[in-house]
Amino acid sequence: MAESLISSVASPARKAQAPGVVSRRRLLYLAPLAGFGGLAAIFASRLGGDPSRIPSTLIGKPVPKFDLPPVQGRALGLSSDDLVGEVSLVNVFASWCVACRAEHPLLMRLAADKTMTIHGLNYKDRPEDAARWLNGFGDPYTRTGADRDGRVAIDWGVYGVPETFVVGSDGRIAYKHIGPIDESALRDAILPLVNRLQQKEARP
Q: What is the mean pLDDT of residues 111-138?
A: 96
Q: State the virtual CA torsion across 79, 82, 84, 89 in degrees, nearest 10.
A: -90
| Length of the chain, in residues | 204
Q: Find the mean pLDDT for residues 101-118.
A: 95
- Report the pLDDT value the prediction gives residue 127, as an integer from 0 to 100: 97
Is residue 106 domain-shared with residue 9, that is, in the same domain? Answer: no
- pLDDT at position 47 is 41
- Does 23 or 137 have the greater pLDDT score? 137
Domain range spanning residue 37?
2-47
Alpha-carbon distances, residue 111 vs 15, 91, 116, 137, 141 (angstroms) = 74, 12, 7, 13, 7
Is 32 in the same domain as 99?
no
Is residue 81 domain-shared with residue 41, that is, in the same domain?
no
Position 19 pLDDT exceeds 80: no
Assign 117 a pLDDT band (cuts: 50, 70, 90): very high
Q: How would residue 37 be classed by pLDDT, with cut points 50, 70 and 90?
A: very low
Q: What is the CATH number of the domain that holds 86?
A: 3.40.30.10
- Residue 165's pLDDT is 98
Residue 36 clears pLDDT 50, i.e. is over it:
no
Are residue 55 and residue 40 in the same domain, yes or no? Answer: no
pLDDT bin (cut points 50, 70, 90) of residue 201 is confident
Split into its structural domains, the chain has a count of 2
Residues 91 and 185 placed together within one structural domain of the fold: yes
What's this model's pTM, rounded to 2 decimal places?
0.74
State mean pLDDT over 44-54.
Answer: 45
pLDDT in tens, 59-103: 999 999 999 999 999 999 999 999 999 999 999 999 999 999 999
Q: Are residues 42 and 127 in the same domain?
A: no
Residues 89 and 172 in one domain: yes
- Please report, rounded to a whole number, the percentage of residues in the chain having pLDDT higher than 90: 68
For 133-184, how does the pLDDT look when each residue is reduced to its tens digit (9 = 90+)?
999 999 999 999 999 999 999 999 998 999 999 999 999 999 999 999 999 9
Eight-class DSSP state of 60: T
The answer on 184 and 106 residing in a single domain is yes
